[in-house]
Amino acid sequence: MKSFDVLHRSLNLRQHYLLEASAGTGKTFSIENIVIRLLIEEDAGVQEPSLLEQILVVTFTRAATRELKTRIRNKIEDSLSLLQKSSKDEACDYLQAIMEQGDAQVEKAKRRLEHALATFDQAQIYTIHGFCLRMLTNFLFESDFSMHKGSFEQRSLTKQELLQLIRDFFRTEIRPHIFSPVQLQIVLQAHGNRLEKVQEALLKYLTKECEVAATPDFSSDVEKFCTIMRTLKKERGWLPEKMQEDVERQISFYKSIRNKSTSSIHAFIELFRKDSWNADDFDLLLKEGLFICEFLAPTNLNKKKSNNLPKNSSLNYPELVPILTQSLYPLIQQAKSYEFIFARLVFYCRLLMHKYLSEEEKHQENDLLKHMLKAIHSPSFAGKVRSLYQAAIIDEFQDTDPVQWQIFNTLFLENSTCKIYLVGDPKQSIYAFRQADIYTYLSAGKSLGLANRASLDTNYRSQPSLVQALNTLFKACPGLFSLPSLAENAYLDYSEVKFSPHIKERKFSDEQGSIHFFQAPVGSKSTQRFPSEECEEKFFFPFIAQEITRLHNSDGFKFNQFAILIKDRFQGQRLAYYFDRHHIPYHLQKQTSLTESIAWESLRELLVGILNPRNENCVKIALGGPILGWNYNEIKKLEDPNFLERILAEFYAFKRHLSQEGFPIFFQRIMQSIGPMDSLSVAERLMKREGGDIFYDELTQIAYLLMEYQNEHPASPEHLIAFLDEYKNMGVEDEERLKKVTDPSREAVSILTTHSSKGLEYDIVFAYGLVGRTQARDRLIPQKEGTSHYLVPCLEKHSASYVKYCEEMDAEKMRQLYVAMTRAKYRLYIPVAVSDKPTEIECGGASPMDIFLARLGQENCSYQELYSRIKEGDSYRLQNFIQAYPEAHITYSLLKETFDEVAPLKNQNIPPLVAPPSVEIPGEKNFIQSFTSLTRYKKALASRDPYSLEPANAVPHNFQAPCKNAHTLPSGNITGKLLHKILEIIPFSVVNKIASANDLKSWIHPLIQETEFHSWEKVLCEITYEALQIKISENFCLKDIHPSLLYRETEFLYPSAKEMLVEELQWHKGFFKGVIDLIFFHNHHYYILDWKSNWLGPNIEAYDFEKMKAAMEQHDYYFQAHIYCEAVKRYLKLVDKRPFEEIFGGCFYIFLRGLSASTGKHTGVLKI
């Protein structure tokens, strides 16, 4: 295959390419340079170079899309800078060619790059799903796509909805003609008799794109059973007495089978006394099995007694067992097979899911691809898309599935002038579980032809000795990258890569090679996991920890230069626990959800305790939780009534903050609160605790989520607990905000799976996950029909289809091994686990290292021969191979159980913290203040005075209050915000067109649905209705004012140099800002109106003039009115030249709970 040098001027870029980019060979670098050349180079077949928006770049993750956008933009800027400086020495070859063509050509190239930068927001860089969505929505009529972009993204099916669907399925869709009780019991037993485990298993298959092949339901199997039984009784004439006689004569010559009783044989024989059979008879057989066939099978014969076994000629029915084994036994085995029953569960559950998707107009992510595949068969749509692009670059092409390739092939290869660049590496195709298909890559290469295939052959990631070591290993394993579906013994050939002369060799203080194998004995003890946890703790984990600390202490490597590639999250958790014990910093780089953090449940417990201070158990749980962190002795002190009263007073104070000021203020107060046992705040106690910094970081992220939620959905504090409960079962794939964000600057060892490591690089890599074997594989195996895949249950693990499936999975393991072994820059550590005796491994159960070592230094072989090599093992094969290549920079070590303890980390000389020099900025300090900020200090003082506020039990807070009216409506900041929102959006004149308050429901219902206010809809309508029709003055109501003369939620900002002489206000020179609820113009005068939701008392009389005046003074509303009047005065001075006293009509304060137009009482309205 020819080499692809994107920098060389002689490269013909205006043709299709399948570009094979081995690990570390500069795939992204090539893509960004392809874009630059397409932008600036002219071609004989193309009049002008491409515009940026005519170049499509598609990759397969959002992160890769962001990186490509950044890299391409930076490359455009760098290329433009080189052309502007005419820096030929620094420029690459193709830029030098532009410069050699003269100033006019350089100017053209500069203008094109400047245009690309100016229009970069139009760059066509997408994920595959993003590209499809953009095309479908841009050409709605041609594509016949029914959703716009926003609605499609909002109506995707979430994990939470899927779980609810599965629960609904078990409640409503389990029908007796489809599943029998015994069949359901079989599935439950396979999952430890835990229904939630069955639901989790179903969820896995509902999120897959593969449909499940239909399997016979219970009723159809019953029909087959009855037919077989009738045939056997009618044609064979078997009599139960004679059948029983035959069994009794033979029973002593066969071995007993564990946990099986011969009584089930007798029960089966008794069925032949019947002339008709039903579902109960069949279900009984499913429970017991057709034991007669297993017990009287030739393989179960006791060889010591076989000589005395009765002859067939002496039996009544010598053909009994063979005929049953051939006719009835397969039916029973299939009907009681977990795989077939579970496949049926998945099939019917998916039917319910598709019904739900259709009825609710929901969708799954890959539905976009199906829509796109359908749309491209429309000539008008395909033509529109083709007209947009002159070039299409498909990154990570090895991860493409058949549907995606069919889209690209149809659009850009068939009847298109667009040039397509397929960039990928088949050796890194490791996403079969996402339907990525290496054979799609090979098929595309065949379509493009050999002339359009090229490769990147220089490794710019790893140092020369490591590149040489990898070449040595991979070349010594013929058939390593097998292709089972093509032909027996077919495989991808490994092409050696060159090392870059610009990469310098890193010297280490030890004698280990660039690749170091560390080998541990596994022992003969049988365990489910290989290697066992005991082996990990004795050998592998100590070695990894020791090497990290040694290289950190002796060679100066930082912890974030190390990566450990693991098999799965369980292995990662075990390693993390070991690192915790030895104080090695790490971070698990899986996209873990905040819901998995201890902080999630801890914050919930704290909120429950704060909101239920009368419940002593809730209070103790909150105090003893990880946030407040009280120990047993501290909680024991609550037995002192005085101490308990003091703590409960604090809880009630926190409850007031939460109810009246919202979660942000509450969280700030709780974190700054000082514990009764020491002088440390809650935040300081958390940070002093081991691992407390990580816990505090996660707690803060969860707190931000709750702040966002409360801001978007004003509701009572109890809704915060409901939010935590609702989101508990969600994952990051459902809600991006749940993704746990780690500090990228924190120096820590990265622990991540091989799949997650793809595309990343680290200085030192431990490929520990390669040693882990696979437990029993899935028995729902994919089978291909055209471009579609179906999951088919497999009953027999030795069947040809199952063996082929395992062979494909093992082939992918070798590609995973390649990915893992090509992440390192300087050194790669590879584990080896050797058993002390031959070990039988089931088909598909071998680890990547098992397969690799079975091929190392040997001829290619069949799949069966490969597992024979793995079974026999050869602990010296690797050592002999390494010794045969002394110049390959490969070493090994044999681990012993007496491995030294992990060395302590070298003490770092941390310089003392020195305060920065104070900086004096000349000039006066100016502050932007509001009424709220100015009165906050006074409110804080009042909150400490128990006599300054209404009794806590008097103010309404119960959303479930049986009597609902304006005086029982729960009080607090959330209620105030809701009433303000209603009065901000509702047209005042609407009251003139309606008959009663109930007619306002259409305006208010959308704001309160799915909130705790939904049961208060009538009350809110009445309050709003009264506010708009009450006479705020003797001669007018708000409903009478023309909409053009109403100015709602008016913001202001003005300078204030004069100090306000208001007691207990913390005033600073600067600016006043705020928002006036309503300014209106009536009868040649301007008015200010402010809505108040304050609760002043339990009835209408509490809102008379004197009580409203007292509330105004208590809350400094007169001062607020002064600020508002000054703002309006300054504005009117610009637009109306009349004196302010002449044009200003006054300021109205409307206490919404005290309005009653029907009573005629003048309550709730105060004019100042």
pLDDT in tens, 29-56: 999 999 999 999 987 666 578 899 999 9
**Cβ-based neighbour number of residue 406 at 10 Å:** 17
pLDDT at 869 over 80: yes
Rounded CA gap, 22 and 822, in Å? 9
Single out the residue of 817, 755, 904, 760 nearest to residue 515, CA to CA.
817
Give the mean pLDDT of 285-313: 90
Q: What average pLDDT is seen over the chain?
A: 89
What tokens were used for 986? 């509702």
pLDDT at 725 over 80: yes
What is the pLDDT, as a whole number, of residue 19?
95
What is the pLDDT, as a whole number, of residue 712?
78
Single out the residue of 508, 434, 455, 403 nearest to residue 26, CA to CA.
455
What is the pLDDT, as a whole number, of residue 947?
36
What tokens were used for 144? 């016949």
What tokens were used for 426? 């088949």
301, β-bridge pairs: 254
On the question of a cis peptide bond just before residue 298, with omega within 30 degrees of 0, the verdict is no
Q: What is the DSSP letter of 448?
A: H
> Quick one: three-class SS letters along 901-958?
CCCCCCCCCCCCCCCCCCCCCCCCCCEEECHHHHHHHHHHHHHHCCCCCCCCCCCCCC
Give the mean pLDDT of 747-756: 93
Single out the residue of 128, 203, 211 nearest to residue 158, CA to CA.
203
Rounded CA gap, 1020 and 1036, in Å? 23
Rg (the chain; Cα; Å): 38
Lowest-confidence segment of 290-299, 762-771, 848-857, 931-940 by average pLDDT: 931-940
Give the mean pLDDT of 316-341: 94
Give the mean pLDDT of 734-742: 76
Provide the sign of the torsion angle of the four alpha carbons 707, 712, 716, 721, taken in this order: negative
Q: Could you report the per-residue pLDDT of 121-147, keeping only the tens digit for each?
A: 999 999 999 999 999 999 988 888 865
Provide the sign of the torsion angle of the four alpha carbons 1158, 1162, 1164, 1168, taken in this order: positive
pLDDT at 58 over 90: yes
Single out the residue of 221, 213, 212 nearest to residue 177, CA to CA.
221
- In this structure, the strands spanning 515-521 and 824-834 are parallel
Q: What is the DSSP letter of 773?
A: P
Find the helix or strand (DSSP H, E) in which 1097 lies. none
Number of residues assigned to the chain: 1168
Rounded CA gap, 170 and 197, in Å? 13
Rounded CA gap, 337 and 202, in Å? 17
> 511: buried, middle or exposed (CB in 10 Å: 19+, 13-18, 0-12)?
exposed
What is the pLDDT, as a whole number, of residue 171?
92
Return the biggest CA–CA distance within the chain.
127
pLDDT at 1004 over 60: yes
Give the mean pLDDT of 1009-1033: 91
Give the mean pLDDT of 1037-1051: 94
pLDDT at 946 over 50: no
Q: How confident is the model at residue 945 (pLDDT cuts 50, 70, 90)?
A: very low
Helix segments in 3-61, DSSP class H:
27-40
Q: Could you report the per-residue pLDDT of 527-536, keeping only the tens digit for each?
A: 567 888 889 9
Q: How confident is the model at residue 941 (pLDDT cuts 50, 70, 90)?
A: very low
pLDDT at 1165 over 90: yes
What is the pLDDT, as a whole number, of residue 776?
63
**At residue 438, what are phi and psi to the nearest 5 degrees?**
-60, -30
- In this structure, the strands spanning 211-212 and 788-793 are parallel
pLDDT at 615 over 80: yes
Give the mean pLDDT of 279-296: 92
At which residue do the structure tokens 């590609």 appear?
A: 815
What tokens were used for 605? 């417990």
Q: Could you report the per-residue pLDDT of 581-594, keeping only the tens digit for each?
A: 888 999 887 657 88
Rounded CA gap, 488 and 483, in Å? 8
Q: Could you report the per-residue pLDDT of 145-171, keeping only the tens digit for each?
A: 865 544 555 567 878 888 899 999 999
Q: How far, in Å, are 175, 198, 260, 660, 887 from residue 187 at the CA level?
A: 15, 8, 20, 51, 56
Single out the residue of 522, 543, 532, 534 nearest to residue 899, CA to CA.
543
Residues 6+ apart with CB under 8 A from 832: 517, 518, 519, 520, 771, 849, 853, 878, 892
At which residue do the structure tokens 């690192």 appear?
A: 579
Q: Are 537 and 739 in contact (CB under 8 A)?
A: no
Give the mean pLDDT of 165-182: 94
pLDDT at 62 over 60: yes
Lowest-confidence segment of 183-192, 544-553, 895-904 by average pLDDT: 895-904
What is the pLDDT, as a whole number, of residue 288?
87
Q: How confident is the model at residue 1059 (pLDDT cuts 50, 70, 90)?
A: low
What is the pLDDT, as a whole number, of residue 49?
85
What is the pLDDT, as a whole number, of residue 210?
81
pLDDT at 732 over 90: no
What is the pLDDT, as a whole number, of residue 247?
92
Please name the amino acid found at residue 513: G
| CB half-sphere exposure, 304, CA atoms < 13 A | 2
What is the pLDDT, as a whole number, of residue 1067?
60
Lowest-confidence segment of 202-206, 874-878, 909-913 by average pLDDT: 909-913
pLDDT at 800 over 60: yes
pLDDT at 6 over 60: yes
Distance of CA 693 to the CA centre of its chain: 23
